[in-house]
Amino acid sequence: MNNVEMDNSKATLEWLNSQKQNTRWQYQNRFELWLQYCKIKKIASCGSEQLEDIKARRLSNDNTEKYFYDNEIPRFFKWLQSEYKSKTTQKPLSESSALSVCTAIRGFFAYHRYSLEIKKDALPSSEKVEGTQQDHSFDIYQLRSMFNMGDLRERTILACAKDLWLRVGDFASLNRDLIELYIKREQEQAENENRDVDIVEFELTSQKEKEPCSCHLSRETVELLKDYMKTYPKTERLFPITEDALNDLIRNLAKKSKITLTGRVRFHCLRKFGITLMHGKVTEPVMKYMIGKHISKDLKTYIQNNRETFKAFKTIEPLISLTKQNGNGVNQKLSEQLEDLKKETFKRMAFQQVLQKMFPEEMGKAIRELAKEYNIELIPEQEQKGLTTKTQLWSLSLENFITELGKRIEQKDLERILSENDNNNH
Residues 393 and 283 both lie in one domain: no
Residues 185 and 54 both lie in one domain: no
**Global model pTM greater than 0.75:** no
DSSP 61-104: S-HHHHTHHHHHHHHHHHHHTTT---TTTSSPPPHHHHHHHHHH
Residues 201 and 301 both lie in one domain: yes
**Confidence (pLDDT) at 88:** 67
Q: What is the DSSP letter of 118?
A: P
Residues 344 and 313 both lie in one domain: no
Round to whole Å and give the CA distance between 418 and 275.
Answer: 7
Residues 94 and 206 both lie in one domain: no
CATH code, domain carrying 306: 1.10.443.10
Does residue 100 lie within any of the structural domains? yes
Does residue 116 lie within any of the structural domains? no
Does residue 122 lie within any of the structural domains? no
Encoded amino acid at 188, one letter: E
Does residue 131 lie within any of the structural domains? no
Residues 287 and 244 both lie in one domain: yes
| Total number of domains constituting the chain | 3
Each residue's pLDDT, cut to its tens digit, for the chain (426 residues) gives 455 567 899 999 999 999 876 678 788 889 999 999 999 999 998 999 999 999 999 999 999 999 999 999 999 999 999 999 887 678 888 888 888 899 999 999 999 999 999 988 888 876 555 555 688 999 999 999 999 999 999 999 999 999 999 999 899 999 999 999 999 999 999 999 999 999 999 999 988 888 999 999 999 999 999 999 999 999 999 999 888 789 889 999 999 999 999 988 999 999 999 998 888 788 889 999 999 999 888 888 989 988 999 999 998 999 999 987 554 444 455 445 545 555 565 665 666 566 556 545 566 677 777 777 877 766 554 444 444 444 444 444 566 676 777 777 777 777 777 777 665 554
Last-in-domain residue among 300, 329, 358: 329
Specify the length of the chain in residues: 426
- CA geometry: angle 40, 46, 48, nearest 5 deg: 145
Q: What does the buried/exposed string (b/e) look like for 182-219 if buried means 16 or more CB atoms within 10 Å of the residue's CB?
A: bbeebeeeeeeeeeeebbbbbebebeeeeebbbbbbbb
DSSP 190-256: HHHTTS----EEEEEE-TTT--EEEEEE-HHHHHHHHHHHHHSPP-SBSS---HHHHHHHHHHHHHH
Phi, psi values for residue 216, rounded to 5°:
-140, 145
Does residue 282 lie within any of the structural domains? yes
User: Under 8 Å CB-to-CB from 189, ≥6 apart: which residues?
Assistant: none
Residues 302 and 157 both lie in one domain: yes
DSSP 240-304: ---HHHHHHHHHHHHHHHT----SB--THHHHHHHHHHHBTTB-HHHHHHHHT----HHHHHHHH
User: CA distances (Å), 147 to each of 136, 160, 224, 390, 393, in order?
Assistant: 17, 12, 12, 55, 51
Residues 319 and 343 both lie in one domain: no
**Confidence (pLDDT) at 130:** 53
- Domain encompassing residue 394: 339-423
Phi, psi values for residue 145, rounded to 5°:
-65, -40
**Confidence (pLDDT) at 159:** 96
Which strand (E) or helix (H) includes residue 364? Answer: helix 363-373
Residues 96 and 205 both lie in one domain: no
Question: Half-sphere exposure of residue 250, counting CA atoms within 13 Å on the CB side?
Answer: 27
User: CA distances (Å), 78 to each of 90, 97, 125, 368, in order?
Assistant: 17, 12, 15, 41
- CA geometry: angle 55, 59, 61, nearest 5 deg: 145
Does residue 53 lie within any of the structural domains? yes
Under 8 Å between Cβ of 149 and 257: yes
Does residue 168 lie within any of the structural domains? yes
Residues 251 and 168 both lie in one domain: yes
Residues 388 and 305 both lie in one domain: no
Round to whole Å and give the CA distance between 178 and 354.
Answer: 50
Last-in-domain residue among 261, 296, 329: 329
Residues 160 and 257 both lie in one domain: yes
Last-in-domain residue among 298, 329, 360: 329
Does residue 121 lie within any of the structural domains? no
**Confidence (pLDDT) at 329:** 45
**Confidence (pLDDT) at 415:** 74
